[in-house]
């Protein structure tokens, strides 16, 4: 059995998340179906670095592929891409050590969230359009409340696979680019809907509808209220999965620039 490290990007709109589910179309399910066809065997496994929710995208998901084959990594990549739907793409495949594990070896992950200040014909599936004026300073102030190791039980939906709701958030960055507000959250791992609920309460504070004191209370005492503010999946991207020795991204770059052509008139 050979093990390969697989670098994957996908547009998650049409999928019920990464993980295989009965009676639902998923990214992992598509990859497995195509791999079984190419290698002509059911003895194949695609194991991802972590799950993404329904409708969430990935700029760089990492998986390990286990299969009996003599094919070179580049040939495998081309064969998989020839069969995969257009919204899933294998960027690169490389041979991996037999003990490499896409999830367990990851040291941290980063997510990118995109908020659009205006309605857009081209970026609807990749942003959360917010009509209200947002106080960016207040949102940035709220983001700092989540940095560090803490119990974020109020900011996730029950997940039987997670034994602990303690998460180490390394940093949260914000940047305005054209009509976009970009938010990057870097952490050890992420609970189900955690990023979307953090973004949601940041936005509610930016709208002036939620106080910083209330969010501090959510962090101190378990509450179901943050679930009401969960941001839509359309604006969320799994940006990068980091392993020992990887260089952490610093620059915040939008996936799709949202700027009116009226702003670019000569």
Whole-number Å distance between alpha carbons of 200 and 123: 19
87 and 120 assigned to the same domain? no
Q: Specify whether 53 is catalytic.
A: yes
Q: What is the pLDDT along the chain (266 residues), one digit of tens a residue?
A: 899 999 999 999 999 999 999 899 999 999 999 999 999 999 999 999 999 999 999 999 999 999 999 999 999 999 999 999 999 999 999 999 999 999 999 999 999 999 999 999 889 999 999 999 999 999 999 999 999 999 999 998 766 555 688 899 999 999 999 999 999 999 988 888 999 999 999 999 999 999 999 999 999 999 999 999 999 999 999 999 999 999 888 889 999 777 666 665 54
pTM for the predicted model, two decimal places:
0.92
- Print the domain residue range for 9: 2-95
Nearest Cα neighbor of 142 from 214, 79, 70 is 214
Q: How many domains does the chain have?
A: 2
Specify if 34 maps to a domain: yes
What dihedral angle (degrees, nearest 10) is formed by the CA atoms of 196, 171, 215, 167? Answer: 70
Catalytic choice (43, 53, 158, 224)? 53
198 and 84 assigned to the same domain? no
Specify if 166 maps to a domain: yes
115 and 58 assigned to the same domain? no
Specify if 180 maps to a domain: yes
Q: Which of these three, 95, 126, 160, is where a domain ends? A: 95
CATH number for the domain spanning 177: value is 3.30.70.660
149 and 81 assigned to the same domain? no
């Amino acid at each position: 059995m050979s093990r390969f490290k697989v670098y994957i990007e996908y547009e998650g709109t049409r999928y019920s998340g990464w993980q295989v589910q009965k009676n639902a179309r998923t990214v992992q399910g598509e990859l497995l179906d195509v791999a079984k066809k190419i290698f002509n065997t059911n003895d194949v496994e695609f194991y991802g670095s972590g799950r993404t929710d329904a409708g969430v995208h990935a700029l760089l998901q990492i998986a390990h592929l286990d299969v009996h084959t003599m094919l070179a990594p580049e040939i495998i990549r081309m064969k998989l891409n020839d069969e995969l739907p257009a919204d899933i793409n294998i960027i690169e495949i490389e041979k991996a050590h037999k003990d490499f594990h896409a999830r367990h070896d990851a040291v941290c992950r980063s997510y990118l969230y995109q908020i659009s200040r205006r309605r857009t014909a081209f970026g609807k599936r990749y942003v959360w359009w917010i009509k209200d004026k947002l106080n960016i300073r207040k949102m940035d102030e709220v983001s700092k409340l989540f940095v560090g190791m803490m119990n974020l039980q109020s900011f996730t939906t029950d997940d039987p696979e997670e034994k602990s709701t303690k998460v180490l958030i390394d940093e949260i960055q914000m940047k305005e680019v054209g009509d976009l507000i970009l938010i990057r959250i870097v952490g050890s791992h992420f609970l189900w809907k955690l990023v979307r609920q953090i973004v949601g309460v940041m936005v509610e504070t930016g709208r002036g509808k939620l106080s910083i004191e209330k969010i501090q209370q959510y962090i101190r005492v378990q509450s179901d209220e943050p679930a009401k503010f969960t941001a839509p999946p359309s604006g969320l991207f799994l940006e990068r999965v980091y392993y020992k020795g990887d260089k952490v991204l610093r620059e915040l770059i939008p996936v799709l620039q949202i700027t009116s052509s009226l702003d670019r008139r000569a």
